[in-house]
Structure 1
Amino acid sequence: MESFIGTYECKVDNKARLLVPAPLKKQLAAALQDGFVLKRAVFQPCLELYPMKEWNAVMEKVNKLNRFVKKNDDFIRRFTAGVKVVEIDNLGRLLIPKDLMAFSQITKDIVLNTKVNIVEIWDKQLYEKAIDDSLVDFAELAEDVMGNVNDDDNGIS
């Protein structure tokens, strides 16, 4: 699994294209030829950019769900709603489809936030609100999520 690093602020032009910052484009270089999948996030009003290899790994898991179970079928439909195959062009631009622009409420200023093996695309104001420490005590969240993780198993210190 590849992992990406960084948070980048940039803008979307009037044609809904964003210029991927050079440091991030360099990290995505191995995936440029295969393309990407852009989709709605499950828990937040942002978009998720999956390198095709990562998307295929997720789809392998989803494909194991029994589609004759209504809950599974409903999940698959909602999870894949609005999914688009996208490319980063030779100039380093990514076109965001209109329906995904509307879902994510992206206007002009955006934040690209790496999230391990994918990249989130946020409207800047919504991103700032999502990471606002006055809404969630990050220290408490970190302890709840990572406090019982065995360092030997995960290499976390």
Structure 2
Amino acid sequence: MSNLTGSYSISMDPKGRMAIPARIRESLESSGAARLWITAHMYERCLLVYSEEEWQPVLAKIQALPAGNEHVRRIQRRFIGQAVNLEMDANGRLLVPPTLRDFAHLDKKLMLVCLGNKMELWNEDSWNAFMDQPLEGDMPADLQNLSF
């Protein structure tokens, strides 16, 4: 799943089912990733989608954090406590649970944003508003020397 790219406008039906675009579905299936993990994003009101292969190392890192820290507990509760393992149906659809739909304000119009090793699932209006926001603050040093 480490080579997924692109953004896709997709729809969700009233039952909370969304169809994974054929190109993405084929890539997932060819890498053996018919089951996906979906959880709440830590910083934005969207969902993160991982294959099992990509999910396990991220989960292990978060579980290894010291639970005595309030910030760690908050991250663990949001990221792990809301995670759901889903399998695509025969039509390539996923049923997103109501709690996660509510968290990300998902309704009929969605954006599926592929980021290489994971995907984000956004309410389309929220995605458009996010993309329209100007960047603020200082650019991290790691980005200053990056050229495209």
Q: TM-score range by the shorter chain?
A: 0.7 to 0.9
**Residue in 2 that maps onto 1:70:** 69
Whole-Å separation in 2 of the counterparts to 1:63 and 1:107:
31
Question: Which residue does the alignment assign to 1:46?
Answer: 46
The question of whether the paired residues in 1 share the 8 Å contact of 2:59 and 2:80 is answered with: no
Alignment map for 1:38-117 (pairs within 5 Å): 38-67=38-67, 69-71=68-70, 72-117=72-117
Matched residue, 2:130: 130
TM-score, scaled relative to structure 2: 0.86
User: Do the aligned partners of residues 46 and 141 (structure 1) sit closer, same or farther apart at CA in structure 2, a change above 3 Å counting?
Assistant: farther
Correspondence for 2:7: 7
Q: 1:141 to 1:23 in 2, by over 3 A?
A: farther
Name the CA distance, whole Å, in 1 between partners of 2:25 and 2:123: 19
Does the Cα contact within 8 Å between 2:113 and 2:119 map onto a contact in 1? yes
Q: Percent identity?
A: 25
Could you say which residue in structure 1 is the equivalent of 2:118?
Answer: 118
The structure with the larger Rg is: 1
Contact 1:6–1:24, Cα closer than 8 Å, also in 2: no
Q: Quick one: distance in 2 between partners of 1:120 and 1:23? A: 16
The residue that corresponds to 1:19 in the other structure is 19
RMSD of aligned Cα (Å): 2.3
Conservation of the 8 A alpha-carbon contact between 2:2 and 2:117: yes
TM, length-normalised to structure 1: 0.82
Q: By how many angstroms is 1:115 displaced?
A: 1.8
Question: Cα distance, 1:55 vs. partner?
Answer: 0.9
Report which stretch shifted further, 116-125 or 140-149. 140-149
Specify whether residues 57 and 123 from structure 1 end up closer, same or farther in structure 2 by C-alpha distance, changes over 3 A only.
same
SS across alignment from 2:45: coil
Tell me, in whole angstroms, the C-alpha distance in 2 between the residues paired with 1:64 and 1:32.
25
- Does the Cα contact within 8 Å between 2:42 and 2:75 map onto a contact in 1? no
Shift of 1:61: 1.2
Aligned length: 146
